[in-house]
Amino acid sequence: MGLFRSEELLGIAAETLDFILSASEQTHPNEYMGFLRAESASKLGLDRDGRVITDILVIPGTESGPTSASVKEMMRPNDINSVGSVHSHPNGVLRPSDADLKTFTSGTVHIIVGAPYGRTDWQAFDNQGEPTDLEVIDVALPDDDFFELTQEGLEDEHLEQPREQSEDTEKKGGLFSWFR
């Protein structure tokens, strides 16, 4: 595989769809919005070529109300794993508005979920706003411990790194001084 990913999008992980539906329900009556990320099917233990939607990236500063959700364009990720977007329609309408179509320019799939946010209350669309099928795949998602900080982990990391600072540097602090 080269720098640009052109693998077929196989579907969405069942657990990821459940997260989307739950987040949309919790955000109701306001719209929910996020960006879709996919992983290689082989990394998920599937014996198929392609990618599966596994993650939702919610951008800080996303503004949402009962009829729209928006993100500042400069905050949109430039992510090689990004495959599209997801947002909810609290009114339950499962088709894109004209405003939605204007945001369907990045990625290859865009999901709209609607109230009451059950397993059948969603639809995937292509960049033109045409409905597209997206298989729900029951696959175990990899554990991502990137943000899992524990006191034990911090202590282990501290013990592994030799401390080579002068007293002057230690007294002045610095960016990471609060870890000491």
Which of 123, 144, 122 is CA-nearest to residue 55? 144
- 9-137 falls under which CATH superfamily? Cytidine Deaminase, domain 2 (3.40.140.10)
Q: pLDDT by residue (tens digit) across 17-37? A: 999 999 999 999 999 988 899
Mean pLDDT, residues 71-82 taken together: 65
| Active-site choice (31, 39, 152, 160) | 31
Backbone angles phi, psi at 63, to 5 degrees: -105, 135
pLDDT band at 165 (very low <50, low <70, confident <90, very high): very low
Is 31 a residue of the active site?
yes
The residues spanned by each domain of the chain are 9-137
| Between 113 and 57, residue with greater pLDDT | 113
Name the CA dihedral angle for 57, 22, 110, 58, rounded to a multiple of 10 degrees.
-20
